[in-house]
A = this chain, B = another copy of it.
Amino acid sequence: MARRISRKISNSTIHRLSIYYRALMGLEREGYDTISSKELAKREKLTPAQVRKDLSFFGSFGTRGLGYPVKELKQRIAEILGLNRLWNVAMVGVGNVGSALVSYKEFARQGFIIKLLFDNDQRKIGSNHKGIIISDIANMKSQLKENEITIVILTVPASAAQKVCDDIVEAGVKAILNFAPVSLKVPDDVNLLNENMAIELEHLSFSLTNRNMVMFD
């Protein structure tokens, strides 16, 4: 079913796929069978041309004049994003950010199941956090393998992040979402995404500072 894709894709396009996916979930709930690129664009403050370009990237959808079939398009985007399956996720570092993220309901809703929690704090190890026993980070490498963890959320302090990251990579994990405010080195075949909340605020301070500038996605 899924076509083999071997082209370059911008990170912005991938991000918009997630946006379209959520819009289509809403449209399905509202009872829509089809949606035009124009209407989908309007809802997400994009141009119809952008929507058509993004979606045509993955093959042809929709019929001219009739729009996209909501259910099928949603299902196809789910396949493309890898949301038609479950992903075993581990969280390393159960501090402020980590413990907040464990409670983030949308992870499980999208198929990201937090299976393991790790920390190096003896007071935390062995305790139950939202239904998951916190494991000793000393056992992380073997447990990541045994539990077939494919994605790790890294929420350790900046000073510890590279060492922990190296261990995660050695355990064979190919996808890391890093919250530590530090630039990590990983091999080319590991997908590293850096999440920095301050950078989001900088986007807003940019907007407030440059009010005469038009931003586009």
Stretch from A59-67, A116-124, A199-207 forming part of the interface with B? A199-207
Chain B nearest Cβ from A198, distance in angstroms = 4
Write out, one digit per residue, whether chain A residues 32-73 have a CB within 8 A of any chain B CB (1) or not (0).
000000000001000000000000000000000000000000
Chain B residues within 8 Å of A191, by CB: 204, 207-208
Q: Which of B22, B109, B200, B213 contacts A6 (CB 8 A)?
A: B213
Taking CB atoms and an 8 Å cut-off, the chain A residues in 74-106 that contact chain B are 79-83, 87, 89, 96-97, 99-101, 103-104, 106
Chain B residues within 8 Å of A99, by CB: 96, 100
* Other 15 A-B pairs with CB < 8 A, given A18-B202, A81-B206, A106-B197: A7-B214, A8-B215, A10-B215, A11-B203, A18-B199, A18-B203, A19-B199, A89-B201, A97-B100, A99-B100, A106-B196, A110-B201, A176-B204, A193-B203, A195-B197
Smallest CB-CB A-B distances: 5 pairs: A82-B209, A82-B205, A100-B100, A175-B204, A106-B198
